[in-house]
Structure 1
Amino acid sequence: MKIAFYGSSLVSSYWNGAATYYRGILRDLAQRGYQISFYEPDAFDRQKHRDIDAPDWARSVVYPATEEAMRGVLAEAAEADIIVKANGVGVFDRELLEGIVEHAAPHALKIFWDVDAAATLDEMRADADHPVRRALPDLDAVFTYGGGPPVVNAYKGFGAADCVPVYNALDPTTHFPVEPDPRFACDLAFLGNRLPDREARVEEFFLKAAERLPEQQFLIGGNGWETKAMPGNVRHRGHVYTAEHNAFNCTPRAVLNVARDSMANVGFSPATRVFEAAGAAACLITDAWEGIEQFLVPDEEVLVARDGQDVADHLAALTPERAQAIGQAALRRVLAEHTYTLRGAQVDQLFQAHAERQREVA
């Protein structure tokens, strides 16, 4: 079956945290025989900061961020059996969503894939004319990469025919333990772009912990932090390419995950970084959110913090031996239960069930 996927970027993680999520799921689907075309606009300097070349398991189509080019790639949706519009493309989001409905063949499965569901739902509650609200009656399903029952119930309340969480996971061929790299040496590292709905939580969980432990060293990676005032024991690394993520995760004594406001509030939303860090056998400290036990066991496979003081307390008590034990336990858990092979199997079953229904109708 042919998949036409309209998203932010497959080849660049620059201001695009969903890149490794797309790669993990779509590569597995390609190995199952799906023919994938991924359409992404040349926008936000993503093409200048590519992490990978165009993969051999998908047709990568980079189009100019113009209305004419957007209309051109939308026309190709008519040839697909499965058409996906992901949120957060950044340009022509409304037009792309309307376009997949307009151009879809009668038999095609039409999906809105929401990689920021909690935030999207907040927007939908505030705007009766939101494009996703308008499109839901014409879509076959909504997939999300997190949110659990609260997000499923909310989407169905807005009229979605179906809503299925397809959680982040680990691609063990991409993220795995490596030797430490002196560039990333520190006691605690955090990786994430500076975003309005994350910054206050980074201040609480990361910067306050650094203030409380002046004798320890902290490292922050990601875009946008270069203008942020920080304690003297924090250094800024800038954009960290996906090829460097393993070393970034393996080298510090511990790494920190901080959810965005909306994801922390709704719960059941592990970031991609959670599984990447676990795949590298890193000792992960995460801010507290409902549902963490579904993915990693607190105090055995992950350390959970309610605030910056908790982060500082965890770090002050964390010996290298315990950090290693937590990281190894997390690695075993994600390899057993949270890989993109398992997520791909889940999505494949959903696609096959739709195809079977179409055959029955025919």
Structure 2
Amino acid sequence: MQPLNIVILGLSITSAWGNGHATTFRGLVRELHRNGHRVSFLERDVPWYASNRDLPQPPYCTTILYQDLEELKSRYASLVGSADLVIVGSYVPEGVAVGQWVVDTAEGVTAFYDIDTPVTLAKLEREDYEYLHPHLIAQYDLYLSFTGGPTLQRLEDVFGSPMARAFYCSFDPELYFPEAQRNQWDLGYLGTYSDDRQPPLQKLMLDAAAQWETGRFVVAGPQYPASITWPQNVQRIEHLPPAQHRAFYNSQRFTLNITRADMIRAGYSPSVRLFEAAACGTPIISDYWEGIDSIFQIGTEILISHSAQDTLRYLNEISEEERIAIGESGRKKVLAAHTAAHRATELVTYYNEALCRKQQAVPAKEV
């Protein structure tokens, strides 16, 4: 296949500060570049990212910073118009106006890349059209969704997307892999505080810690209220830079995954933390959501906890041999299906399918 000319209008690729989009875009674009495709990334130049750019010039794409919608339209119409594939990401500033301009301007395939699908759908239900309007969904040739399962059918049947496809998050195997484990903690959790995640964190970890006083637990992440009472055997780490995430996972016997409420309601929404922890060979104890068994095999690749008692049973009754085997099985699964390289290949496959659909639809429109 001939190399593609791809244009992405995304939240950010230059700064990972306060967002998970940059890491996702970096992995995908890097792998597209490795496969010979040409990528231009257009990013709104905003002050909070400008002062926190950890990768101002990614080596695998042409990065363009634009000031406002007017500059985007006046300077980059030919770039967008001539591209084989144009992708607009979720949370792009003025995303509705940007998206409408893209579908009106692009000659090639257009796609909406939803890195926040459960949040997006909840916003649409509230008639909050911050970056996507229902009428735009039908105009994009392709809807790339971080959520799979029944949500894809809903996007097509209810919102009129001509082609909605699962496009899960991914991890970088060059950054996440097993290291000599120190087993500093029996169970750890990495995540910023949120109101909806705190009750399951309390139930699945903190209550377990209170019942097992000699156990070693850790919670890493910012914004936890001072009002939280932490058991004495739970260590707190206020901020853990991404460069330290691999070492953090490799220092735990087990790691805990807690899922946002919107993601649980949607189902089929694996988080990047799941893949990163699994890539380190650390066995995962997770809350349950519909579709998790389509990502990992429960019992052999991931463990599901519904209570403090479930958590304690895993921590105290699983043998070291079985613990290591679960971690290795989880790692094999994500290496086989969830790297950034897999996503780059999937994107080209989806592009070809969308292009065929678009070409087949042209004569009908011309009649």
TM-score normalised by the chain length of structure 2 = 0.85
Output the CA distance in 2 between the equivalents of 1:251 and 1:170.
19
Seq. identity, % = 28
Output the CA distance in 2 between the equivalents of 1:215 and 1:193.
26
**Compared CA separation, residues 212 and 60, structure 1 to 2 (3 A):** farther
1:295 maps onto 2:295 in alignment = yes
Alignment equivalent of 2:85, drawn from 72, 82, 85? 82
1:159 corresponds in structure 2 to: 160
Helix, strand or coil at the partner of 2:165: strand
1:226, distance to aligned residue in structure 2 (A): 6.2
1:98 corresponds in structure 2 to: 100
**Compared CA separation, residues 194 and 353, structure 1 to 2 (3 A):** same
Contact 1:15 1:223 survives alignment (8 Å): no
| Runs of 5+ unmatched residues, structure 2 | none
What letter matches 2:344 in structure 1?
A: G
| Runs of 5+ unmatched residues, structure 1 | none
1:203 corresponds in structure 2 to: 202
Alignment equivalent of 2:64, drawn from 58, 61, 64? 61
Contact 2:256 2:285 survives alignment (8 Å): yes
Contact 1:220 1:235 survives alignment (8 Å): yes
Taking the TM superposition and a 5 Å limit, the aligned residue runs for 1:318-333 are 318-333=318-333
1:134 maps onto 2:142 in alignment = no
1:211, distance to aligned residue in structure 2 (A): 2.9
What letter matches 1:152 in structure 2?
A: L
1:319, distance to aligned residue in structure 2 (A): 4.4
Output the CA distance in 2 between the equivalents of 1:314 and 1:86.
39
1:188 corresponds in structure 2 to: 187
Contact 2:296 2:333 survives alignment (8 Å): yes
1:111 corresponds in structure 2 to: 111
What letter matches 1:326 in structure 2?
A: I
**Compared CA separation, residues 129 and 321, structure 1 to 2 (3 A):** closer
What letter matches 1:249 in structure 2?
A: Y
Output the CA distance in 2 between the equivalents of 1:181 and 1:100.
50
1:280, distance to aligned residue in structure 2 (A): 0.8
Output the CA distance in 1 between the equivalents of 2:140 and 2:311.
43
1:67, distance to aligned residue in structure 2 (A): 5.4
User: Per-residue displacement from partner, 1:232-274 (whole Å, max 9, x unpaired)?
Assistant: 3323323333322211111111111111111112221111111
Output the CA distance in 1 between the equivalents of 2:224 and 2:48.
17
Output the CA distance in 2 between the equivalents of 1:198 and 1:290.
17
Helix, strand or coil at the partner of 2:43: strand
Contact 1:181 1:247 survives alignment (8 Å): no
Helix, strand or coil at the partner of 1:245: helix
1:72, distance to aligned residue in structure 2 (A): 6.3
What letter matches 2:164 in structure 1?
A: C
**Compared CA separation, residues 151 and 48, structure 1 to 2 (3 A):** same
Contact 1:10 1:23 survives alignment (8 Å): yes
User: Per-residue displacement from partner, 1:326-360 (whole Å, max 9, x unpaired)?
Assistant: 11121122222333322222211121334456667
User: Per-residue displacement from partner, 1:73-114 (whole Å, max 9, x unpaired)?
Assistant: 76453343211111134x333333333234x32x22111111
Return the index of the structure with the highest Cα Rg.
2
Contact 1:197 1:262 survives alignment (8 Å): no
1:213 corresponds in structure 2 to: 212
**Compared CA separation, residues 338 and 109, structure 1 to 2 (3 A):** same
Contact 1:83 1:109 survives alignment (8 Å): yes
1:53, distance to aligned residue in structure 2 (A): 5.5
2:19 corresponds in structure 1 to: 16
User: Per-residue displacement from partner, 1:172-216 (whole Å, max 9, x unpaired)?
Assistant: 22211124479xx32211112223443433333333333333322
1:172 corresponds in structure 2 to: 173
2:352 corresponds in structure 1 to: 352
**Compared CA separation, residues 341 and 20, structure 1 to 2 (3 A):** same
Question: Aligned pair count?
Answer: 355
User: Per-residue displacement from partner, 1:4-43 (whole Å, max 9, x unpaired)?
Assistant: 2122222433322243332232222222222112233455
